[in-house]
Amino acid sequence: MTRVQQIGEDALIRRLAGLLPSRQDVVAGIGDDCAVVRTGRHDAFDWLLKSDPVIEGVHFARDAAPGAIGRKAVGRVLSDLAAMGGEPLWALINLVAPPDTPVKRLEGIYRGAASLAKRHGMAIVGGDTSRGKTLELHVFAVGRVPRGCAVPRSGARAGDVLYVTGVLGGSGEGRHLKFEPRIKEGGWLCAQGWATAMMDVSDGLATDLRRMTAASGTGAVLDVAAIPVSAAARRCRDTRSSLEHALADGEDFELLLAVPARKAVAFEAAWRRSFTLRCSRIGVMTKRSGVIELKDGKSCVPLTCRGYEHFVTRADS
């Protein structure tokens, strides 16, 4: 019998997706940061749908500050809305909690969720509660983009330049609980039409770039010296290099995007005029479908390290 841990997340999703119904008004279903649906023939907007679980022992430790847990739960869906260029609108939260959970802890969690949602103009309009063995928050969010403007993962072409916002790696040191979803930047990229493809980096650049190249039918070459390794990744003292941390740790919640080469210079200037956040030019899309390489000076080696695997426990990997 095949177990989930043997095939991994992407193969599991492909198998399950094959079982599910669609409709004519679905613009983009499973396989991107959000689903995109269209409700009316003359609507000015497309709707973005996203849900995401945050579970004790998987996404946060038992002793994490309540406000940070709620903030992370909402931040994760906001990051996926940002990855499509979306504007957040409404969210529902399903809460699963053991009966002996202090009410005060839950209030703290909801205060954290509410404050981040409010800052990005998103209302939290309902949800449900259930008893369960561990504390879990399941957030479902709706956002919107101007009709036809959602930025998919699949639009990159060979020659497009790759960029990533912020810094990567070492998010387990604390950034995974207090990251800033890139709503403003994603909305700007969508409105200005710079990006041919975009996604958020949730499972590590290595894994997520592989997903973008697979969706776009391209390969990629990453410039090692240009990868923005975080200070936290440099501080990690273990068997892995800080570069490996930047490529594989996950939960960076930065934006990975592709811009046509002829627009790259203008894009970089426009970005600098609009944001103080860094946006690093980290590589280029290539024709060699599925091949991702790391360029270090003159030598080029295949990218072998992988990002976070949801169904593989750290002890197995």
Which parts of this chain interact with Mg ion (CB under 5 A)?
A: 33, 80, 200, 202
Measured from the CB atom, the residue of 52 and 56 that comes closer to Mg ion is: 52
Smallest distance from Mg ion to CB 80, Å: 5
> Measured from the CB atom, is 202 or 216 closer to Mg ion?
202
245, 204 in Cβ contact below 8 A?
no
User: Of all residues in this chain, which one has the CB nearest to Mg ion in the complex?
Assistant: 33
Q: Tokens representing 296?
A: 């270090």
Run of H or E residues at 28: strand 26-28
> Least distance from C-beta 197 to Mg ion, angstroms?
13
Q: Toward Mg ion, which CB reaches closer, 48 or 135?
A: 48
CB of 161 to Mg ion, least distance (A): 21
By beta-carbon proximity to Mg ion, the closer residue of 200 and 244 is 200
Residue 47 contacts residue 147 (beta carbons within 8 Å) = no
Query: Residue 210 CB, nearest distance to Mg ion (Å)?
Result: 13
Dihedral in degrees, nearest 10, Cα atoms 37, 218, 81, 72: 140
- For the chain, the distance separating the N- and C-terminal CA atoms, rounded to the nearest angstrom, is 21
How many residues make up the chain in this entry?
317
Give start and end residues of each alpha helix (H) in the chain: 4-17, 66-83, 103-119, 175-178, 183-192, 205-216, 231-235, 242-248, 264-274
Q: How far is the CB of 21 from Mg ion (least distance, A)?
A: 23
Residue nearer to Mg ion on the CB measure, 160 or 254: 254
